[in-house]
Amino acid sequence: MMSLEGRRVLVTGGSRGIGAAIVAALVREGAHVALHYGQSRGAAERVAAELDGAPVLLAANLAQAGAGTTLVERAEEVLGGLDGVVNNAGIFAPAPPTAPWTTWAQVWQETLQVNLVAAADITRAALPTFQRQHRGTLVYIASRAAFRGDDPEYLAYAASKGGMVALAKSVARGYGRDGVVAMTVAPGFVATEMAQQVAVEKGTAAIVADIPLGEMAQPADVAAAVAFLLSDAARHLNGATLDVNGGSYVR
């Protein structure tokens, strides 16, 4: 049974796209959700309004060092504890090796900070609570790029997601005995604003041509996988990655 009734879960980057779909799926399954957003207060409020105000809204700029730690502390306070975290927040910015050094350096720093370092800080902050209650689930939203790589413009993005997969596997191996489980979801192209950015550059037809199913995944497809991983039914998937890419990369 996949019920998440009463589970207290923090979802980062929950105001739009995949994150908003995850928040909606968890609320429908009975979870108490803290929806983190960066700058999109209005978008976060719209997600909450569609769910009768069920998620609690928490703002944090994960590009700032230490913000992830404070975010976990606030989530525990407003939810009355914590049973799960979905590390979904991320940025997708181009910086080919031919870009000016200042652009290259800035994109790498910001991408690694938001996509990987903040997720690590959040993990570190949540672990003591999970160990103390001998129960806790960490789900990381990575990408197929972690396994097959990405185009030269997005080296930083692929590297950050590869690091996230390694982080999840290490947590799974290191803390399973404490009742803590960690898994990863690796989407391919999902019909979100982020995918639209690439579609403008390459064309939708070129993207879809690489997907055997002939269509991009929907945010709800990723959300369903996340809801399953947060449930007790998925505990023995500890350390695993679920690929949600329509067969565009098969491992």
Of 37, 157, 175, 249, the active-site residue reads 157
User: Residue 14 and residue 44: Cα distance in Å, rounded?
Assistant: 7
CA 242/CA 120 separation, integer angstroms: 20
Give yes or no for residue 86 having a pLDDT over 60: yes
Confidence band of 200 (pLDDT split at 50, 70, 90):
low
Rounded average pLDDT over 121-145:
98
Q: 51 is written with which tokens?
A: 């769910």
Q: Give the pLDDT score at 43.
A: 96
Reply yes or no on domain 8-190+219-243 having CATH 3.10.20.70.
no
Report residue 109 as tokens. 């720093």
From the number of C-beta atoms within 10 Å of its C-beta (0-12, 13-18, 19+), residue 6 rates as exposed
| H/E segment holding residue 33 | strand 32-37
Is residue 157 part of the annotated active site? The answer reads: yes
Q: How far apart are CA 194 and CA 201, in angstroms?
A: 12
Residue 37: band (very low, low, confident or very high) from pLDDT cuts 50, 70, 90: very high
pLDDT per residue over 139-194, tens digit each? 999 999 999 999 999 999 999 999 999 999 999 999 999 999 999 999 999 988 77
Cα→Cα distances 77→20, 212, 225, Å: 22, 45, 27
The confidence band for 231, taking pLDDT boundaries of 50, 70 and 90, is very high
User: What are the sequence ranges of the domains in the chain?
Assistant: 8-190+219-243
What percent of the chain has a predicted confidence (pLDDT) above 70?
A: 97
CA distances from 127 to 45, 81, 97, 211 (A): 29, 12, 37, 37
Average pLDDT along the chain:
95
